[in-house]
A and B are shown apart, each in its own frame.
Chain A
Amino acid sequence: MGTNTEEQFQQKIDQEIKIEPKDWMPQKYRHTLIRQISQHAHSEVVGMLPEGNWISRAPSLKRKVILLAKIQDEAGHGLYLYSAAETLGISRDEMYHQLHAGKAKYSSIFNYPTLTWADIGAIGWLVDGAAIMNQVPLCRTSFGPYARAMVRVCKEESFHQRQGFESLLVLSKGTEEQKRMCQDAINRWWWPCLMMFGPPDDESPNTLQSMQWKIKRFSNDELRQKFVDMIAEQVKVLGMTLPDPDLKWNEESKQYDFGEIDWAEFKQVIQGNGPCNKERIDTRRKAWNEGAWVREAAISYAAKQTKQAQEPLKFAI
């Protein structure tokens, strides 16, 4: 037919026509999406691990059920995203395999430890806050299944951020020790959160093409700036500070200036040398391996049920 050219694909994108799984697409578009969506899914799944540490240690039943609900949401988000990636022709097991083999990346933020209860609040407010900043524009991304998954994710994510902030608000009005704990968590999570937006624009290898294909709609630096502007105001409500002496309002540019990010640390964590990289992957592998018999038993049981349903009754005439 000769209609399936890359030019026509780009025209569709430019006209804001969504791409659906079985539409023609350039190989690189497919690969980029598989990489990005599966990394995103892995991040949701690995993201449950630092929080799981605090389910049995939550300070009250109320906080415990909130945390359980949040973690259940993360599992769901992982599932929506894995499903979206599967429409591109990669299998779920292959994605798991890539994660467990250490070949797939996930958000570097989840390689940091959760040392105190305040970390759970900080994760909700800052980590989920940064995630939302990234995810809201993805609701309009050019690939249909990814966009639909993100709409669902974003609806649920706002509860995560609000519960985190509220949890820190309680600590910020508590005892001196609780206030210290709150500030300490903010201090430890702030810089890794800024790194969540990825390398600066001039070093981000995938941004340009992704913008042209409308997979991404804002650059890493644009989103990071929006995040800083939002959090710099919110932290005042907590009566806490952000650990950046260079952070100050710039009247001219109408945004906050902030200090230099330690990109060497970012690269170390991405390359597997963060505080918890090994622990996270080991936990995932253990869960996968120890769950193997359940997966096999369920398949065998389903096969047996099907077979029995097909067999004629023994005593039938």
Chain B
Amino acid sequence: MPDSQEQITAEIVESHRVYAKAREESGQESRHVLRDFAPYRSSILRHPKQPLVVAGDPEAVELTGPVFGVTDVTALDSDLTRQHVGEPMGERITVTGRVLDRAGRPVRGQLVEVWQANAAGRYAHQRDDHPAPLDPNFTGVGRCLTDGDGRYAFTTIKPGPYPWRNHVNAWRPAHIHFSLFGTAFTQRLVTQMYFPGDPLFPYDPIFNSVPDEQARQRMVAAYDHDLSVPEWSRGFTWDIVLDGAFEGEHR
């Protein structure tokens, strides 16, 4: 018998309460996600139970990382509305921001990858078989390299929310999946960008797997009216900060 939304919401609220109490007592803020977050049922058997082992090697290979260049992307990759013969259905948007390391320095010339559902909330993926229309003019995959300021920019359509089977009546808030590289393999990040004011936030166990409210807000883009283009597109900004040690960090 699948769980109800009421059950999942109760578990989320309890988990956040436990976190808030621990934060108050220890003064320690959690800046990341909890890998062990039972309201997201698929995480139960897919998180390690042993503590992570500190690598503790200043010469670790992971302190360097893969590089990408102009041969790895094409100009059309960053405009998800122009990858087919016709225009996709939906609200045209631009999403831009900077990729920074934890010291606030721009990550330059690195690969940013995105993927998302179409305006109806359907992925161009065989495993997404829920009854919303596919869009022949939208695949939902983009790539770009960050520029000299660490900036990325995509033109796309606003993805729709979509149902999933974590529990009865489970709906994901609209989101764009992001994959990011830093200068070191330790800085690798895969995350999701959300849209401001989504009414589905309190119901979603994935969004709420980040226990700290301020940390959750760092996954939410801002609407930026100055980036909107008259009679064409609405603009969103979202900066991304990569964690993890890297070679030369303390120089």
| A and B are interacting partners | no
Residues of chain B touching chain A, judged by Cβ–Cβ distance below 8 Å, are: none
Residues of chain A touching chain B, judged by Cβ–Cβ distance below 8 Å, are: none
